[in-house]
A and B are shown apart, each in its own frame.
Chain A
Amino acid sequence: MKKTALAAIAAVLVLGAGGASAQTLKFGLAEDPDALDPTLARTFVGRLVFSALCDKLVDISPDLKVVPQLATEWKWSADNKSLTFKLRPNVTFHDGEKFDAAAVKYNIERHKTMQGSQRRGELSAVTSVEVVDPLTVKLNTSAPFAPLLATLTDRAGMMISPKAGQALGDKFATAPVCAGPFKFVERVAQDRIVVEKYDGYWNKANVHFSRIEFRPFIDATVRLANLRSGQLDFLERLAATDAKAVQKDSKLKFASITEIGYYGITINIGKSEKSKTSALGSNPKIREAFELSLDRNGINKVVFDGLATPGNQWVAPNSPYYAKSVPVPKRDVAKAKALLKEAGNPNPVVNLVTPTTTDASKIAQVVQAMAKEAGFDVRIQATEFATSLNMADKGDFEAYILAWSGRPDPDGNLYSFHACKQPLNYSGMCNPALDEVLNDSRLTTDMTQRQAAWDKAAKIVSAERPIIYLLHRKWLYAHRAKLTGFKEYPDGLVRFVGMKM
């Protein structure tokens, strides 16, 4: 009798323990990711899934410092033209293949050469990859390129199994094999992506879920309803308007962090002929008046329920890389009016191209109302997003509301937008003094010197206003109250290692 009772208790304990470790995290995404191949991928939701599947050479910390992941240490050469990584020993890919220097070489070269690669630009500075020994790899660059290290904290630093990569070629996304905490199980387009714990993971002691199911819900209200009803345990991009309700709900927890990206109004100051005929594009005084007419706090309150961070640079005021010498200007309608009078155009017309997303449309309406008080006649050109990008590319706009998701190294928010003739330079900004400063910031790995260069850049950009930066959104999350170990990162991604429920 006693024996049976003991056996029963033991069985319960074993089953109970089994239950605790065999836990599934049901994760709500805001959209269905694109191809699950780090070389080809480009969406934010895709990166959320990769954060379970694919470890990177290095990661960032919540305060944007580069920290070890698959590489344990790194060193720039004296001339800053090569970066050497020491790799973590005994790491395997999900197919059991060894992760070593040769695998790193394969991956970087794949990023650089594969047809359709979205990483080519990020890694353009890398000229060759040398295998020094099985656990040491050296990346050589054509010129000193400080942003390289931070680039490797994202998809460019993700490592896939060379064996699987060679076998699947451009079909790798159908069955991705990486070296992250979870391995790929299945994907049903627009329905779910399932991954399960990889037992050979180098840090498996800190992986507490046995499975993660990612499911896309485009509508934020529906996403939250699914969290409330138990179909989800965690969701990303909570609607700002739902934040209060989640905070009040004892079964749920709310989390947020300021993004590394921004919302801004790009102004065509030289991209095309249109810059010469538009009031904003042709006259810096009118641009200054336009900025002075805007109240960033007001936009924040109306559009984001006060949950964003107003700002005037490519990084938020609470970022370690913010140029403190160029503070956020206050609204000054009287001065704006005076400037317009001085410019001889008291009622300038501004055609504002606005993507049809909810946030952008709301921002446009608030901007329209605020600028009107200073005399501006803002005309909103609501345009579907893909079309608006085309227009920006061709310079077929006067002003354009555009968000940028941000990169951990400020260079990723800056260079391509403001250096002469760069691919994302929609404003047509081309200022040799700025180009020099921006190049300086890339040549040295000394953070004090880089910051000095960014401070100079902030002065030039805030005076010329190719982009009027408005604010930095917050990443908003909601999850079950019993889920612990979640830590917010400014890149908006979720690190699943360490989370449990």
Chain B
Amino acid sequence: MTRFLIRRLAILLPTLLFVSIIIFGLQQLLPGDPAIAMAGEERDPQAIADIRAKYNLDKPIWVQYGLWIGGILQGDFGESIRIQLPVSQLLLEKLPVTIELAIVSMLIALAVGLPAGVISALHNGRWPDYVANVIGLWGLSTPNFWLGIMMILLFSVHLGWLPASGYVSPMEDLWGNLQAMIMPAFVLGTGIAAVFMRHTRSAMLQVLASDYIRTARAKGLYERVVIGKHAFRNAAVPVITLGALEFGQLLSGAVLTEQIFSIPGFGKLIVDAVFNRDYAVVQGVVLCTATAYILLNLLADIAYFLVNPRLRS
């Protein structure tokens, strides 16, 4: 286990370096000049030249990359061309919001998706299975932006129960924070819950048909133990991988959902940054997200170890 961890951590740095080169390179392929995008409709040539000089856009690309990566090693992510604030400040402002949204959405997804998957597998081909499947398919096929707008119209405009937008930090006002978070988290969570439900169901069906479950039942174990200890733990392995991937995706920012509920997280940040050719911000967000993905995958691997004794040997 320790050797495994060390090995995994050792490839973290080269992976990130590789990712940073890819991000930087891909950015350059984006058509449109950031200085011109920044200069806006007036396009004063002197202003454009000033911007190029200030943000090193007039230097060769490898020099730009060197300056950027050198800065990051010293904790300096550069400055947003558009709003002229340090990228690190923007990342630190948005990261807690995105993490909170990801966690709440994930909890909703787990709380709905896993039991639904187990129940529908246990009642395979009977009405609880059909109900879970219909709800699951609905969750999968409903676009987030549509569900989001419908929820705003119902709960904010007509009923007036929840605010349509207006993120508040949980440190400031926990209740206000939950009120603002519940709709976006539900929108995001239902989509993922459906994925969980489908995967849990098929994994459970597979496991339930295997010999050792029949043996366990034949030994006269309680059904609760058979399902909970023997079947579910084995069925959980693919779901853990899936969970890590989904969580990583949530951390990269729920672009549409954040836009609709005006949640100031990574999704809003990166969309604006891409449109404004705000390179430093795009690079900062992608690098953060890539790091999160790698770490989450590592956590998923550790979780395999914990649920699956066979991997430990």
Interface residues of A (CB under 8 A from B): 31-35, 37, 40, 42-43, 115-118, 120-122, 170-171, 173-174, 188-191, 215-219, 221-222, 225-226, 228-231, 384-387, 389-390, 393, 404-405, 423-424
- With CB as the reference atom, state the residue of chain A lying closest to B267: A190
Q: How far is the CB of A151 from chain B (nearest CB, A)?
A: 12
Restricting to B147-186, which residues have a CB under 8 Å from any CB of A? 149, 152-153, 156-157, 160, 163-167
Q: Is the CB of A32 within 8 A of B152?
A: no
- By a CB distance below 8 angstroms, the chain B residues around A174 are 84-85
Assess whether B17 is interfacial by the CB under 8 Å rule.
no
Nearest residue (CB) in A for B46 is A120
In the complex, chain B residues whose CB is within 8 Å of the CB of A387:
31-32
Q: Return B148 CB to nearest CB of chain A, in Å.
A: 8
CB distance from B121 to the nearest CB of A (A): 39
Candidates B84, B163, B164; contact of A35 at CB < 8 Å: B84
Q: Given that A389-B32, A423-B44 are known contacts, is A231 also in contact with B39, CB under 8 Å in the complex?
A: no
CA distance A372 to B236 in the complex (A): 60
Task: Please report the C-alpha to C-alpha distance between residue A219 and residue B36 in the assembled complex, in whole angstroms.
Answer: 25
Chain A residues near B268: list those with CB within 8 A: 190
Instruction: Name the one of B37, B164, B259, B276 contacting A229, with C-beta atoms under 8 angstroms.
Output: B164
Q: How far is the CB of A26 from chain B (nearest CB, A)?
A: 9
Choose, from B47-55, B133-141, B291-299, the stretch at the interface.
B47-55
Within 8 A of A (CB), among B41-100: 41-47, 50-51, 53-54, 80, 82-85, 90, 93-94
Neighbouring A residues of B234 by C-beta, 8 Å: none
Q: Is the CB of B84 within 8 A of A216?
A: no
Contact, CB under 8 Å: A393 / B36: yes
Contact A189 B264 (CB under 8 A): yes
B36: chain A residues within 8 A (beta carbon): 386, 389-390, 393
Whether the pair A231, B166 counts as a contact (CB closer than 8 A) is yes
Contacts of B50 in A (CB 8 A): 115-117
Distance A457 CA – B227 CA, assembled complex (angstroms): 84
Q: How far is the CA of A170 from the CA of B43 in the complex (A)?
A: 20
Partner of B39, one of A115, A118, A216, A229: A118
Which residues of B does A touch, CB under 8 Å? 31-33, 36-47, 50-51, 53-54, 80, 82-85, 90, 93-94, 149, 152-153, 156-157, 160, 163-167, 259-260, 262, 264, 268-269, 272, 275-277
Alpha-carbon distance between A78 and B284 when the two chains are bound, in angstroms: 57
Contact yes or no, A32 B262, CB < 8 A: no
Contact pick for B277, options A31, A37, A215, A386, CB 8 Å: A386
Whether A42 contacts B39 by the Cβ 8 Å rule is yes
Contact status A219-B157, CB under 8 Å: no
Asked if B153 and A225 sit within 8 Å, CB to CB, the answer is yes
Knowing A116-B50, A188-B264, A387-B32, the reply to whether A229 touches B152 (Cβ < 8 A) is: yes
A222→B149 contact, CB < 8 A: yes
Q: A229-B160, A386-B276, A389-B32 known; 11 other A-B pairs, CB under 8 Å?
A: A33-B83, A35-B82, A188-B93, A225-B149, A226-B164, A231-B163, A385-B275, A386-B31, A386-B277, A389-B43, A405-B41
B149 near A173 with CB under 8 A, answer no
Whether the pair B40, A118 counts as a contact (CB closer than 8 A) is yes
12 intermolecular pairs with C-beta atoms under 8 Å apart: A35-B84, A40-B84, A121-B47, A188-B93, A189-B269, A190-B272, A215-B165, A225-B153, A231-B166, A384-B275, A387-B32, A404-B41
| Cβ contact of A390, chosen from B33, B38, B94, B166, cutoff 8 A | B33
With A116-B47, A386-B275 known as contacts, the answer to whether A218 contacts B259 (CB < 8 A) is yes
